[in-house]
Amino acid sequence: IVRPFNEIPGLWKNSVGNLYNFWKQDGFKNLHRIMVHNFNTFGPIYREKIGYYESVNIIKPEDAAILFKAEGHYPKRLNVEPWTAYRDYRNRKYGVLLKSGEDWRSNRVILNKEVISPKIQENFVPLLEEVGQDFVVRVHKKINRSGQNKWTTDLSQELFKYALESVSSVLYGERLGLMLDYIDPEVQHFIDCITLMFKTTSPMLYIPPELLRKLGSKVWRDHVEAWDGIFNQGLGANKEVPRVLASLLLLDKLSIEDIKASVTELMAGGVDTTSITLLWTLYELARHPNLQEELRAEVVKARETSQGNMQEMLKHIPLVKGALKETLRLHPVAVSLQRYVAEDIIIQNYHIPAGTLVQLGLYAMGRDPKVFLRPEQYLPTRWLRTETQYFRSLGFGFGPRQCLGRRIAETEMQIFLIHMLENFKVEKQRHIEAKSVFELILVPDQPIILTLKPL
Ligand code: HEM
Ligand code: 2DC
């Protein structure tokens, strides 16, 4: 017999007390570890109420499958209140990220054709390849200038620029020139605003932003300033024929305001996500020199087989792709995936009514020994064939509401790794063990210092 909803274990009876405890545990920074702890305490399903968010949390791939089957025609994830509050406050349109219902679907269908369809991918491979080559040139220059035949640095700022150059070249069809020595202060400001926007979101997740606004709190003011900087950037504004924009305008199906809103979200969503994933990947390759050599061998061979044709080359690098999946397993960008279920479902023999917010603990699942053999080990080969992959590779989400930037992100990251592996050896300095902190997305808790040496 199926057990009722209110028998699901967990702490959901005292939401204010829970919020206080959460805050005391430094929960704003440790959300991912608190989720792991809760699964260890309550088992594979638990209910929770913190502040105004009430949810059911799950961890098993089989349960994720049930969840996504019940997401309905207009999949809805947890509403990030500070983001919608900003737009409401400034009277700006929601883009595809924040829209819902039919409005979301119609915009998404059109955007899919421009940024995520396999056909369009062919168009942006050459653009991304060029950005990758420029990055290599830049690193060589840095190495030469050091006079030590190596370059030791925290690569994150460089990777932010690489990611922004990549995403804007795809969206606008033209280069911003961020791989040069001179960095436009406007570009640096845009990058800083995105980081500030993420950082100021997490403390406001559980307290109504409306309230914080009325109290004139600093975090709300910083958040507004960050979004203002993101929306007011004029990147690509002086370009003649912005590529994706041009075809969206030609299609004449979306209003200018809708296009602007979604393109701004794509630009903002395309910087920290891929750059941090690449940083984690380089970190793992530096920690596993033998694995790094295996990947290099694969890339060298793929270059031969495809005679340098990048489109073709991308079909011959399964281990590189496995490495990226492995990075997202251990260091996911999103701590959880969530849906408001469209129909009643049964998970772990509990009844869950339609309308409930159900969260899959992505970080917790990636480290669960019941889901992945030896989860603590970074093993790209596990994605080749040996282990089942059923609902286990969910770093970009799932279904029609999955990451819109997924194809751009994957292609951009694969091309980056190809170029880096072909040109440099990555080493790590001392014995540092970087962990994740929650700043809305999961980011390294300390600077990751790497050394790049020419091959
Ligand atoms: C949504 C992850 C890169 C734009 C999402 C979601 C995840 C995610 C988990 C939610 C999906 C769901 O609910 O099923 C990632 C990861 C990235 C990445 C891991 C890189 C490693 C990007 C890039 C862009 C982007 C490069 C823009 C070019 C978006 C947008 C949405 C989204 C617009 C909302 C889509 C919608 O609501 O219809 N992403 N993302 N992301 N992402 Fe990404
Ligand atoms: C954060 O509890 C934790 O891809 C919350 O590119 C639940 C939650 C809801 C939505 C998630 C968010 C988390 C993490 C960041 C995500 C976001 C959906 C899209 C966004 C995963 C897990 C992200 C980073 C987008 C951001 C685009 C934006 C900058 C315009």
pLDDT tens per residue across span 363-405: 999 999 999 999 999 999 999 977 789 999 999 999 999 999 9
Instruction: Tell me, using a 6 A CB cutoff, whether residue 127 lines ligand 1.
Output: no
The ligand that comes nearest to the alpha carbon of residue 396 is: 1
Q: Which atom of ligand 2 is found nearest the CA of 273? A: 24
Which residue owns the Cα nearest ligand 1 atom 24? 405
**Distance from the alpha carbon of residue 262 to the mean position of ligand 1, in angstroms:** 12
* DSSP reduced 3-state for 428: strand
Tokens encoding 123: 């168009």
* H or E element in which residue 32 lies: helix 27-42
Confidence of residue 264 (pLDDT cuts 50, 70, 90): very high
pLDDT given at position 213: 93
pLDDT digits 0-9 by tens, 198-213:
999 998 988 889 999 9
* DSSP reduced 3-state for 397: coil
**Distance from the alpha carbon of residue 33 to the mean position of ligand 2, in angstroms:** 18
Q: What's phi and psi for 92, nearest 5 deg?
A: -105, 155
For the chain, the first-to-last Cα distance in angstroms comes to 63
Give the mutation target among 200, 440, 442, 443 for probing the ligand 2 site: most ligand atoms within 8 A of CB.
440
Structure-model confidence comparison of residues 430 and 229, the more confident one: 229
Measuring CA to CA, which residue among 379, 410, 385, 394 is closest to residue 295? 379
pLDDT digits 0-9 by tens, 21-40:
767 777 689 999 999 999 99
Strand boundaries in 104-221, DSSP class E: 151-154
pLDDT digits 0-9 by tens, 303-359:
999 998 999 999 999 999 999 999 999 999 999 999 999 999 999 999 999 999 999
What pTM does this model have? 0.96
* DSSP reduced 3-state for 346: strand
Tokens encoding 332: 């996911």
pLDDT given at position 386: 73
Average pLDDT in the chain: 93
Neighbours of 425 (CB within 10 A): 18
DSSP secondary structure code for residue 400 in this structure = G
Answer for the pair 453, 142: CB distance below 8 angstroms, yes or no. no
pLDDT digits 0-9 by tens, 77-95:
999 999 999 999 999 999 9
Answer for the pair 128, 411: CB distance below 8 angstroms, yes or no. yes
Inform me whether the pLDDT recorded for 168 exceeds 60: yes
Which residues are near ligand 2 (CB < 6 Å)? 77-78, 80, 97, 205, 265, 268-269, 273, 333-336, 338, 403, 440-441
Token pair 């369809």: residue: 117
Instruction: Tell me, using a 6 A CB cutoff, whether residue 333 lines ligand 1.
Output: yes
Structure-model confidence comparison of residues 133 and 251, the more confident one: 133
* DSSP reduced 3-state for 36: helix
pLDDT given at position 238: 58
**Distance from the alpha carbon of residue 266 to the mean position of ligand 1, in angstroms:** 9
Inform me whether the pLDDT recorded for 252 exceeds 80: no
Instruction: Tell me, using a 6 A CB cutoff, whether residue 408 lines ligand 1.
Output: yes
Confidence of residue 239 (pLDDT cuts 50, 70, 90): low
Measuring CA to CA, which residue among 396, 441, 347, 337 is closest to residue 77? 337
Cα–Cα distance measured from residue 267 to residue 171, given in angstroms and rounded to the nearest whole number: 8
Instruction: Tell me, using a 6 A CB cutoff, whether residue 108 lines ligand 1.
Output: yes
Q: What's the whole-number mean pLDDT along residues 182-204?
A: 93
Cα–Cα distance measured from residue 353 to residue 188, given in angstroms and rounded to the nearest whole number: 47
Answer for the pair 393, 399: CB distance below 8 angstroms, yes or no. no
pLDDT digits 0-9 by tens, 104-160:
999 999 999 888 888 888 889 999 999 999 999 999 999 999 999 999 999 999 999
What are the start-end ranges of the H helices in 306-341? 310-313, 318-330
Q: What's the whole-number mean pLDDT along residues 423-437?
A: 92
**Distance from the alpha carbon of residue 333 to the mean position of ligand 1, in angstroms:** 9
The ligand that comes nearest to the alpha carbon of residue 268 is: 2
Instruction: Tell me, using a 6 A CB cutoff, whether residue 34 lines ligand 1.
Output: no
The ligand that comes nearest to the alpha carbon of residue 414 is: 1
pLDDT given at position 251: 72
Tokens encoding 355: 């309308």
In this structure, the strands spanning 45-50 and 53-58 are: antiparallel
Confidence of residue 242 (pLDDT cuts 50, 70, 90): low
